[in-house]
Amino acid sequence: METGMKEIRDKARKMMDTFCKVCPICNGKFCAGQVPGMGGLGSGSSFTNNIDALVRLKFNMRLIHDVTDPDTSVTVLGKKLTLPVLAAPIGGVSFNMGGAVSEDNYIEAVINGCKAKGIIGCTGDGVPEFIHQAGFKAIKAADGHGIPFIKPWEDEEFFKKIEAAKASGTDSIGMDIDAAGLITLRKMGRPVSPKPLKKLTEIISRIGMTFILKGVMTADEAELAVEAGAAAIVVSNHGGRVLDHAPGSAEVLAGIADKVKGRITILADGGVRTGGDILKLLALGADAVMIGRPFSVAAVGGLQEGVETYIDSLMAELKQTMVLTGTATAASVDRRILFAPDR
Ligand SMILES: Cc1cc2nc3c(=O)[nH]c(=O)nc-3n(C[C@H](O)[C@H](O)[C@H](O)COP(=O)(O)O)c2cc1C
């Protein structure tokens, strides 16, 4: 690990105290059950399943080729990214990360750090209101360079937030439909819910801009997302925070890609930590990945500079892994770079 990253992580460990131990490998074991906090829900199995599914994948190493300076850029949803990475929407710094930095400073670091390095940061939503407000403000200050994700609130609360999100100047909006699993919100009298296909179709058409549906874990729902008019899906179990005993996203991604690849943009997240992990999800069919917790650690430990340093480390690792697997471009990754004992 680069020296810069070590310092950032050491600082984050102090600042996040009991909320996140910034473990050598961020795998959900220490923080199992810590929601609020940085962990996975219940036993923490859905978080650890994300990690385990990625660890199980291995690369075929190939060196007899001419790939020395691979192209890590991709174009997704009409946006050229220097790396096939978006910072996943994460909010609630005070109750999830210990509050050593403010929500505003945190999300500005993510949005601006991503913009400076040619990728995109996303913003989260929840209760209290200042979570999404901080996100919209940061996106607006970055001239619309960022994607807000809104929870599946019931009816007018949802559309009120969508209008506020649009005012940030963004050209894309997401909904983490899996946040319907956050029963804490319903208990607070702020109901979120699943959406039947008809309702989802209406929502997407009423929003009238590039729409990303986050929290798709089965091929049949990916098919429904296409039917509803979504521009992209995020294959995600919400970092293991909404449903215990869900599979890892890398376990379901190939089946989903086999069904809908080319008809909808496929993003995926959960347990991605390194450049190698990025390449594994691309090989399974993702067009780009989202990364969650490591961006939080980088932002708390080093604000914008921390985020930029982390993106640099991902870039270096991805390039290295692309060379060693003979992958010339991130825009087209062959599934045969993955080792399959039966092939
Ligand atoms: C503390 C925390 C808060 C989160 N808040 C949101 C949110 O507001 N909206 C959302 O769509 N996802 C949210 N997520 C899920 C992330 O966007 C992402 O799916 C997940 O963190 C990916 O897994 P990883 O952290 O293992 O990379 C949150 C995750 C964490 C850890």
pLDDT in tens, 213-241: 999 999 999 999 999 999 999 999 999 99
Q: Looking at this protein, which amino acid is placed at residue 136?
A: F
Q: Give the lowest-confidence range in 35-39, 46-50, 96-100, 181-185.
A: 181-185
* Residue 2: per-residue pLDDT: 59
Q: For 91-208, where are the E strands, in sequence order?
A: 120-123, 147-150, 172-176
Q: What is the average per-residue pLDDT within 174-200?
A: 89
Give me ligand 1 centre to Cα 75, in Å. 23
pTM of the model: 0.97
Q: Which of 20, 90, 131, 310 to mutate to test the pocket of ligand 1 (most atoms within 8 A of CB)?
A: 90
293 lines ligand 1 (CB under 6 A): yes
Q: What is the average per-residue pLDDT within 139-166?
A: 95
pLDDT in tens, 239-288: 999 999 999 999 999 999 999 999 999 999 999 999 999 999 999 999 99
The C-alpha atoms of residue 211 and residue 235 are separated, in whole angstroms, by 14
Q: Give the lowest-confidence range in 8-17, 49-58, 181-190, 194-203.
A: 181-190
- Structure tokens given for 147: 């994607």
Q: What is the DSSP string of 65-125?
A: S--SS-B--EEETTEEESSSEEEPP---HHHHH-SSS-HHHHHHHHHHHHHHTT-EEEE--
* Residue 191: per-residue pLDDT: 86
pLDDT in tens, 301-312: 999 999 999 999
149 lines ligand 1 (CB under 6 A): yes
Q: Whose CA is nearest to atom 14 of ligand 1?
A: 90
Average pLDDT of the residues of the chain: 96
